[in-house]
Amino acid sequence: MTDNTELKRLAEAATAGPWSMCGEADGSQGFEIIQDIWNEHGTHTGKDVVVYEWSDESDPLGVIHRADAEFIAAANPVAVLALIADSNRLESEAVYAAAGFNAAREEIAKIHAEVAGLRTGYEAYERVNAELKAEVDGLRKSLLDAAEEIDAWGSYASDYFQEKHDLAGCVAKFHAAAMGKGEQS
């Protein structure tokens, strides 16, 4: 940021302008930077010389060259004050834009963190899903094996499995009794 306080003070104190330049380079160089004078009714009342420089060719120091005089005429206080106002406005907009940019950057960082958390959760879900699928596949295989065994036993399968169930129940009772956790038969 540029501190334009002094430049602004000088521009406000100077003759406002608009300024213009007259003069031609012939055998000598001379330029005047003039300001039109208007009265309070808007009538043109004349011109006032703001800058005057005239020199002959034998004394080139102190000569205002045409390009310099044109620039000085264009860089009148009104133009300078407009540039300062634009600069101040742009600086304010830059501060506002930077705040918006920082807020957006923070929001993006927050979203990145959320995505990372979701990715971790999704990966855990995929692992659990794979484990459950493997368990289902194992249970499906056991069920198919049991179905084949039932088919092999044919009509005796029902009696066999009932007997197996009854024996398993007896074994469980004896085991519990042996461990002191149930009644003895």
pLDDT at 30: 57
C-alpha to C-alpha distance for 34 and 20, rounded to whole angstroms: 5
Q: What is the pLDDT of residues 43-84, one digit of tens each?
A: 777 766 555 555 555 444 455 556 666 777 777 788 888 999
* Residue scoring higher pLDDT (13 or 127): 127
Q: Which helix (H) or strand (E) segment is 51 a member of?
A: strand 44-56
Asked if residue 27 has pLDDT above 90, the reply is no
Asked if residue 183 has pLDDT above 60, the reply is no
On the 0-12 / 13-18 / 19+ scale of CB atoms within 10 A, 122 is exposed
C-alpha to C-alpha distance for 57 and 63, rounded to whole angstroms: 9
Q: What is the mean pLDDT of residues 25-40?
A: 62
Q: What is the mean pLDDT of residues 170-184?
A: 70
Q: Which helix (H) or strand (E) segment is 31 a member of?
A: strand 28-38
Closest among 29, 31, 24, 22 to 58, alpha carbons compared: 29
Asked if residue 28 has pLDDT above 70, the reply is no
C-alpha to C-alpha distance for 76 and 80, rounded to whole angstroms: 6
**Checking DSSP bridges between strand 28-38 and strand 44-56, what pairing results, if any?**
antiparallel
Asked if residue 151 has pLDDT above 50, the reply is yes
Q: What is the pLDDT of residues 117-143, one digit of tens each?
A: 999 999 999 999 999 999 999 999 999
Amino acid at 3: D
**Gap between the terminal Cα atoms of the chain:** 99
When mean pLDDT is compared over 19-28, 47-56, 151-160, 164-173, the highest value belongs to 164-173
| pLDDT tier at 86, thresholds 50, 70, 90 | very high
Report the percentage of the chain scoring pLDDT > 90.
Answer: 31
pLDDT at 11: 77
Is the bond into 18 cis (omega within 30 degrees of 0)? yes
pLDDT at 25: 45
Q: What is the mean pLDDT of residues 107-115?
A: 96
C-alpha to C-alpha distance for 37 and 53, rounded to whole angstroms: 20
Q: What are the residue ranges of helices labelled H in the chain?
A: 5-13, 66-74, 77-153, 157-178
